Structure 1
Amino acid sequence: MASSKRWASIISSIASFLLFFIIILQVPVFRVPCRTGTCTSPVEVMSSHLIATELYPALGPKALLYPGAIARSYIKNRTFPSYSKLSKLYNLTNLRKTSASTDLQHLEILAGSYLAVAGAVLGLIRLGRTSLFGTLLILWGFVREVILKNSANMNSARSIHIYPVTMCIALLCAFLAIRKDVRKLIRCCRTRRGAKSLRFRAKIM
């Protein structure tokens, strides 16, 4: 039987790659107002904010958006978009004129998107719990605005939506990508299974 360390390494590797593809290929996990209109993935939220605030040259955010644009074109059976058409495809042309109020209204989702994207990349080299914290922060943003009704603009609360299946998969992958936690979980399961086996043998004898 393989050791808990080996199983933890295998599980965390698979989870890290799955999470990376979910984030980078921009699988829809929510729907929230952003600088471009409506964003459905952490990469879109982060990229629109970076380009609008000029915190980073537009070349970097566009490079992050390109894999998702290719994936969407493939799913919809369309021709792959050129890099120069990304601004039109994602409505990035007039971002500097848009109000920053949308970012302030969904601050937790914005911060969580940054952490989720960074964590997905760092997860490939097994660094930290950044992605898990980012995903939980995004969830807290939705809890605050939808369930607790704590948003100043109630119409905004109705305009946001979360996709439960993809969000649960992303959250599970973010947790399983942490090798230490997976190893503890495997050890705990093996300990409980061993204890049940001993009790069963005791009853038979």
Structure 2
Amino acid sequence: MASSKKTARIISRIASRVYFLLIIFQIPLFRIGTCTSPIEVTSSQLIASKVLPAVVVKSLLYPGAIANAIVKEKAIPGYDNLLNAYKFHHAKEGPATTDLQHLEILAGSYLCVAGAFLGIIKPSRVGLFGICLLMWGLTKELSLLKHAASDPTKAIYFYPTFSIAVVLAFLSVRGDVRKIIRSCKPKRIAHPFWTYAKAKNK
């Protein structure tokens, strides 16, 4: 039977890679405005702030654009028109997710994306921190009722896939997985006869 350390390493690697695919292919996790994934939130901020060249943002968006086109059986958008497809090209100001009221959502999205890439190299807690911060920010917005439910463009809600992302982010942390495996293992109970014999020999 494999040791808890080896089992935890295998589970952590699989979870971190599935989490990476979930993020990079922009599987819808939530909706805030027109954004449905951490990469979309991150890319919209990068375009608005002009921190990175457009070619870097396009590289982040393109895998998800291809996956989305295949699922919806649409034509794959051209690389040059990619920002237009996401409605980021003419954004002079950041979308609703870039203001100070949405700081947790923005920071959580950055950490989710960073954690997904770092997890390929070495699983860490960055992705878990990111998804938890993102969940806190979205939940806070829902509780404060800052967005009118009658306006679908401003609605905020979670998709069921968000819970999958939380589980994957947690399982990608090797130390936590190892603790769970150890806690699930049945504890060995010494037989009274052997305990008595061992004490007598002393």
Under TM normalisation by the shorter chain, which class is it?
0.7 to 0.9
Structure 1, unmatched stretches of 5+, are none
Find the counterpart in structure 2 of residue 114 from structure 1. Answer: 110
Structure 2, unaligned runs of 5 or more? 193-202
Aligned residue for 2:23? Answer: 23
- The match for 2:148 is 155
Query: Taking every aligned residue pair, what percent have the same amino acid on both sides?
Result: 48
Which structure features the higher share of helix residues? Answer: 1
* AA at the equivalent of 1:155: A
Q: What are the within-5 Å matches in structure 2 for residues 1-205 of structure 1?
A: 1-33=1-33, 38-96=34-92, 98=93, 102-104=97-99, 105-147=101-143, 149=144, 153-155=146-148, 159-163=155-159, 165-190=160-185, 193-194=186-187, 198=189
Give distance in 2, aligned partners of 1:71 and 1:26. Answer: 8
TM-score in terms of structure 2 length = 0.86
Read off the aligned partner of 1:14 and give its amino acid letter. Answer: I
Cα separation, 2, equivalents of 1:26 and 1:173: 15
Matching residue's letter, 2:125: R
The C-alpha deviation readout for 1:41-66, integer Å capped at 9, x for no partner, is: 00000001001110111111110000
Structure 1 residue 107 displacement after superposition: 1.5
The 1:178/1:159 distance shift into structure 2, 3 A limit, reads same
* Aligned residue identity for 1:111: A
Shift of 1:16: 0.5
Return structure 1 stretches of 4+ with deviation > 4 angstroms: 99-102
CA RMSD in angstroms comes to 2.1
Output the CA distance in 2 between the equivalents of 1:136 and 1:92: 26
Distance 1:4 1:102, change over 3 A: closer
TM-score normalized by the length of structure 1: 0.85
Deviations for 1:58-113, whole angstroms, at most 9, x for unmatched residues?
111110000000001111122322211201110122111x3565422321111100
- How many residues end up aligned between the 2 structures? 188
Larger Rg: 2
Q: Deviations over 1:1-29 (max 9, x none)?
A: 00111101110011001100000000000
Instruction: Say whether the 8 Å CA contact 1:126–1:178 is kept in structure 2.
Output: no
